[in-house]
């Protein structure tokens, strides 16, 4: 269950990021690109009524071209909306506008309908010279929570970091005296008492941590920080509940304690959070490499092998490199039905397309080859995987293992449920 969730997550994020990059690259002439955000629960008929009003308002636009483009776009958006009986459960986002192909007068109306991977709680209509993608970009930010404990021998501060939102939850003081005694009692007795008080304080630090962090949903990790060695003494003992201890992802040095110390941790957090995902990616890749190394027959790689196993439903986990930028082009002969698939870099596609009319079909010899379909290999494989209930993981090239996936294994690999017999 947990695995299934992460799988669609890395794929959904990858897809959304690609889409947003594409939308950001589009610019209109003047303010004529429409962005429409509809939150879950909003009635489609209400939205259409609002758009009718916007259509009326747009009649006041002075420039003939801009007015026409905006009104055309509004009409197109309304047409698209009518295809929905109701707003999808995560809401709906539509981008529409006239995008210039090259010079002036080459604008063409483009429409993008996005169903967000998570609920989008914004109701907004905007007409601008660019598409407004920020609310969707917010969804790409990390949502998982991290617990932070900043401590030294004097105090401990607890905080929860979720996305960019930081909440300082609690602060306790230790009551432990400083390291050096000022006389009166023997040095040994002083040290023994101090040690006891310190352990007592550790127990309190752990007790509060358990109370605070065990009930945080989606807690991804715990970061322990602070100046000096006290945090290590605490971390290596068993004062934290074992479920939390398993989640300690970093122990950091900070210059300060209390809120300033927490702020220091937050500054370093993006790096730590990225590392947590890298560890997940490394583990997945190591599992694949284990099967390769031990020749268990439960690992495959390379586009054609993986595709074959996917179609058989034999793949448990599909590993796709983020660095895989190949387009799968299917060529078909309209005379004899001959078909072949090619993997090309995006920039090589136009060259192939323009050469096709001159190339005789290898089967019938006619010059009737056409591009039947072209799709990014990632999307093509991911769709196949989803149909077969295969978990999909997009693996970055940030780790050594991720580099290996890209360079050594052709960017596509699979861990199998069973060894297929071909
Ligand atoms: Zn042919």
Strands 412-416 and 369-376, sheet pairing: unpaired
Q: Are 187 and 110 spatial neighbours (Cβ–Cβ below 8 Å)?
A: no
CA of residue 360 to ligand 1 center, whole Å: 8
CA of residue 370 to ligand 1 center, whole Å: 10
CA of residue 367 to ligand 1 center, whole Å: 8
CA of residue 356 to ligand 1 center, whole Å: 12
CA of residue 196 to ligand 1 center, whole Å: 87
CA of residue 380 to ligand 1 center, whole Å: 25
What is the average per-residue pLDDT within 302-317? Answer: 95
Q: How buried is 337 (Cβ within 10 angstroms: 0-12 exposed, 13-18 middle, 19+ buried)?
A: exposed
The span from the CA of 403 to the CA of 406, in Å, is 5
CA of residue 329 to ligand 1 center, whole Å: 17
CA of residue 379 to ligand 1 center, whole Å: 28
| pLDDT, averaged across the chain | 90
* Confidence band, pLDDT 50/70/90 cuts, at residue 182: low
Give the HSE-up count for residue 17: Cα atoms under 13 Å, Cβ half-sphere. Answer: 10
Structure tokens at 197: 């008080």
What's the pTM?
0.69
CA of residue 186 to ligand 1 center, whole Å: 99
CA of residue 357 to ligand 1 center, whole Å: 12
Percent of the chain whose predicted confidence (pLDDT) is above 70: 97
**Structure confidence by residue, pLDDT tens digits, 117-165:** 888 889 999 999 999 999 998 888 767 899 999 999 999 999 999 877 8
CA of residue 365 to ligand 1 center, whole Å: 6
pLDDT at position 100 is 84
Q: Is the pLDDT of residue 289 over 50?
A: yes
pLDDT at position 348 is 92
CA of residue 333 to ligand 1 center, whole Å: 5
Backbone phi, psi, residue 336, to 5°: -115, -5
Considering only residues 355 and 12, tell me which one the structure prediction assigns the higher pLDDT: 355
Considering only residues 69 and 139, tell me which one the structure prediction assigns the higher pLDDT: 69
**Max CA-CA distance within the chain?**
105
CA of residue 348 to ligand 1 center, whole Å: 23
CA of residue 346 to ligand 1 center, whole Å: 25
Q: Is the pLDDT of residue 174 over 50?
A: yes
What is the average per-residue pLDDT within 406-419? Answer: 94
**Structure confidence by residue, pLDDT tens digits, 234-282:** 999 999 999 999 999 999 999 999 999 999 999 998 888 888 888 889 9
What is the average per-residue pLDDT within 319-345? Answer: 93
CA of residue 237 to ligand 1 center, whole Å: 73
CA of residue 343 to ligand 1 center, whole Å: 20
Q: Is the pLDDT of residue 403 over 60?
A: yes
**Structure confidence by residue, pLDDT tens digits, 138-151:** 888 767 899 999 99
CA of residue 338 to ligand 1 center, whole Å: 5
CA of residue 311 to ligand 1 center, whole Å: 27
* Confidence band, pLDDT 50/70/90 cuts, at residue 107: confident
pLDDT at position 4 is 38
The span from the CA of 165 to the CA of 144, in Å, is 11
Q: Is the pLDDT of residue 409 over 80?
A: yes
């Amino acid at each position: 269950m947990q695995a299934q969730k992460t799988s669609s997550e890395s794929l959904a994020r990858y897809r959304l990021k690609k889409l947003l990059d594409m939308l950001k690259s589009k610019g209109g002439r003047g303010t004529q690109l429409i962005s429409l955000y509809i939150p879950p629960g909003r009635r489609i008929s209400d939205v259409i009524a609002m758009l009718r009003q916007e259509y009326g308002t747009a009649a006041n636009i002075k420039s003939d071209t801009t007015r026409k483009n905006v009104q055309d776009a509004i009409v197109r958006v309304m047409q698209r909306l009518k295809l929905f009986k109701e707003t999808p459960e995560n809401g709906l986002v539509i981008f529409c506008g006239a995008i210039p192909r090259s010079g002036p007068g080459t604008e063409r109306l483009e429409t993008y309908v996005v169903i967000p991977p998570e609920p989008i709680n914004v109701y907004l209509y905007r007409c601008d010279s660019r598409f407004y993608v920020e609310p969707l970009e917010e969804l790409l930010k990390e949502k998982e929570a991290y617990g932070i404990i900043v401590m030294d021998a004097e105090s401990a501060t607890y905080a929860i970091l979720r996305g960019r939102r930081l909440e300082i939850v609690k602060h306790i003081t230790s009551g432990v005296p400083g390291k050096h005694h000022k006389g009166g009692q023997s040095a040994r007795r002083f040290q023994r008492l101090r040690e006891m008080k310190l352990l007592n304080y550790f127990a309190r630090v752990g007790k509060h941590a358990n109370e605070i962090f065990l009930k945080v949903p989606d807690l991804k990790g715990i970061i322990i920080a602070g100046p000096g060695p006290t945090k290590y003494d605490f971390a290596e003992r068993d004062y934290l509940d074992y479920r939390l201890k398993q989640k300690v992802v970093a122990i950091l040095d900070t210059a300060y304690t209390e809120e300033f110390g927490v702020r220091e941790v937050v500054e370093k957090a993006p790096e730590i959070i990225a590392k947590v995902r890298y560890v997940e990616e490394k583990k997945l890749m190591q599992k694949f490499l284990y099967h390769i190394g031990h020749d268990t027959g439960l690992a495959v790689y390379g586009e054609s092998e993986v595709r074959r196993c996917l179609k058989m439903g034999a793949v448990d986990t599909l590993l796709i490199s983020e660095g895989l930028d190949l387009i799968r082009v299917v060529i078909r002969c309209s005379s004899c039905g001959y078909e072949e698939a090619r993997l090309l870099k995006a920039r090589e596609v136009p060259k192939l397309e323009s050469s096709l009319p001159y190339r005789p079909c290898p089967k019938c010899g006619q010059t009737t080859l056409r591009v039947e379909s072209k799709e990014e290999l990632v999307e093509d494989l991911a769709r196949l995987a989803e149909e077969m209930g295969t978990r999909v993981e997009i693996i970055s090239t940030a780790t050594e293992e991720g580099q290996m996936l890209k360079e050594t294994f052709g960017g596509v690999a699979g861990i199998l449920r069973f060894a297929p017999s071909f």
